[in-house]
Structure 1
Amino acid sequence: MDYFLRQLYQDRSSDEHTLGIISVERRSKVDTNTDYFDNVLLVIISDKKEANPWEIKHYAYNSYKVAMHLVRSSQIKDWLLNSSNRRIIDWLMNGKIVFDRNEYTANFRKTMLEFPLEERKVKIGVEFSKLIRRFKDGKALFHEKHYLDAYNQIVHALHHLARLSIIDHGFYPEVTVWQQVKKIEPEIYKLYSELVTGSEPIEKKLELLLLANEFELMSKTKLGSAHIIDLMKRKQDSWTIDELKQEVGMHEYSLDLSILLEYLVQKGYIDVVNVETKGKDIYHRYYVVNEALFRG
């Protein structure tokens, strides 16, 4: 089969825009990490090449199935930043490097292991904004007595809380996120376990978990808001929401930027500055960091 695989990626390795190729073998019959394909070839493409951000090709040789993922490096970085394709972590970290141009892939893997602080801070900000969105939506649905929908939102909120904690400890959240968090922050694992396995009525479970989740949210506020606060401190003037959206630049982050700002306003970390418009008694809403409180 090695000969078959080499035939597939040989042309790709001769392309000057190919930065690296990783081969991922299917581990067992029940392993979904490769979408039930016997092998995945991850071909990392330079952003200099005009190509789709992500292209997939399927191949067969007798009963052997292979999926080739041709992915631009910027797309991989986006997946890692937003935790939107957690299989990519396993592929990058545990796959076999079969081609590497100028040690690009080996260095990329090394950077992932080191997980630079600034990158961690951004990822924590993304997870924190998603955590607020899910928690607030779940809380609203609970008060409206839509318990099953509230349950769904709180499960997602706990997932974001778990990933945030894993990132804070210097690791990338993997597919088995609860296995990771059980070792790192067992109290968060206990919250999740009580939600999904507890014998109490769903209303009672949600009531208790909303209180616990509120506490966890409060305790993570400084950590979760550090990126957006540092960003806002870059200039003395106040910010409009659109300026912050453009500065953040990431779709996954900017989606929940408004609710993140409003939460930080409520907690006193950010102040609102009203700026007059041409309309009578109508103001633009600008934002500035309450530095004294944040330092406190």
Structure 2
Amino acid sequence: MEDILRPIYQERASQSNTLGVLLIEKKQKLSHITDSFDVILLVIIKEADQPLFIKHYTYNNKKAAMHVLAETQLQEWLLLGTNRKIFEWIHDAKILFDRNEYVANLKTELREFPFNGRKIKMGVEFAKLIRRYVDGKALFESKQVLDAYNHVVHSLHHLARLAVIENGLHPELTVWQQVKQIEPEIYKLYEELVNSEETLEKRLELLFLASEFMIHSRTNIGTSHLLEVLSGKEYWFFNEMMNEKELIPYSVDLAVLLEYLIEKHLIDVINIETKGHGVFHRGYCVSKKLS
């Protein structure tokens, strides 16, 4: 298999822009990891006009896919967790080419999961958790029960991922299997939501109460990165936060997270005069109670 694909990956390996070439083979007959392909060739490159380029091949009645991935896209996936298969691909892959031990160092970094990387990922997961929780509660209060249920399932998933990261691990595709071992209380909440014989309204009501406690207990660790960045200035305008490099991963969830933190007295609002009488710019700063 590797011999057949060698001309394809050797051509890529010879290019100075290529950082690494990895081979991921399908382990089981029905494997979701390789998207039903027998082999995935993952080529990581330094720079590209297109962040992801994919080619499909056929050989000996088998299927192969080559994913040419820009380093910036890889780092975004690793940070935001928006393509969780990439963790398993890098973990399970055979290294075919590695320029200056780029892939070996990447594997080590993922395995050791440095604390600063964990802080950012916990912050992003916490923001997504708050977004789903707040939206779900609003839908529940307006009697949109099925839509509320959908948001609560997602909020529990973010809570589960947050717990896994907090324990120094990367959330895998089988995150509930991880959580069952690490945080059985969260797993039990999920089971009760899905399997309980109570009415859906009653299940959601109980879950909002339990989730509120779980979220409260993780607020400090979930907001550590955000508050650390915000403490670097006396106050911030919202647009400044949106364009701050370290806060860009929070993106669409940032406004909801800010309002939650204001409600919890972790962020203060500062009114700054404008030219309009009685109209103020809204600034944000870390609560003085925390300093």
TM-score by length of 1: 0.96
Aligned partner of residue 262 in structure 1, secondary structure = helix
Structure 2 residue aligned with 1:206: 204
Aligned partner of residue 256 in structure 1, secondary structure = helix
For structure 2, the residue ranges without an aligned partner over 5 or more in a row are none
Partners of 1:51 and 1:14 in 2: CA distance: 19
Aligned partner of residue 23 in structure 1, secondary structure = strand
Structure 1 residue aligned with 2:54: 56
Pick from 272, 285, 289: which aligns with 1:288?
Answer: 285
1:221 corresponds to which letter in structure 2? Answer: T
Aligned partner of residue 273 in structure 1, secondary structure = strand
TM-score by length of 2: 0.97
Pick from 240, 243, 261: which aligns with 2:240?
Answer: 243
Give runs of aligned pairs for residues 35-114 of structure 1, distance below 5 A: 35-47=35-47, 50-114=48-112
Give runs of aligned pairs for residues 63-212 of structure 1, distance below 5 A: 63-212=61-210
Counterpart check, 1:8 vs 2:5: no
Pick from 269, 275, 278: which aligns with 2:275?
Answer: 278
| Contact 1:248-1:254 within 8 A present in 2 as well | no
Partners of 1:176 and 1:261 in 2: CA distance: 31
For structure 1, the residue ranges without an aligned partner over 5 or more in a row are none
Aligned partner of residue 255 in structure 1, secondary structure = helix
Superposition deviation, residue 22 in structure 1 = 0.9
Counterpart check, 1:255 vs 2:252: yes
Query: What do the CA deviations read for 1:147-169 (whole angstroms, capped 9, x no partner)?
Result: 11111000000010011111111
Identity over aligned pairs, percent: 52
Partners of 1:108 and 1:218 in 2: CA distance: 34
| Contact 1:198-1:205 within 8 A present in 2 as well | yes
Aligned partner of residue 32 in structure 1, secondary structure = coil
| Contact 2:136-2:151 within 8 A present in 1 as well | yes
Partners of 1:147 and 1:248 in 2: CA distance: 38
TM superposition outliers: structure 1 runs of 4+ over 6 Å: none
1:267 corresponds to which letter in structure 2? Answer: K
1:129 corresponds to which letter in structure 2? Answer: A
Please report the RMSD computed on the Cα atoms of aligned residues, expressed in angstroms: 1.2
Query: What do the CA deviations read for 1:57-77 (whole angstroms, capped 9, x no partner)?
Result: 101113110011100111111
1:163 corresponds to which letter in structure 2? Answer: R
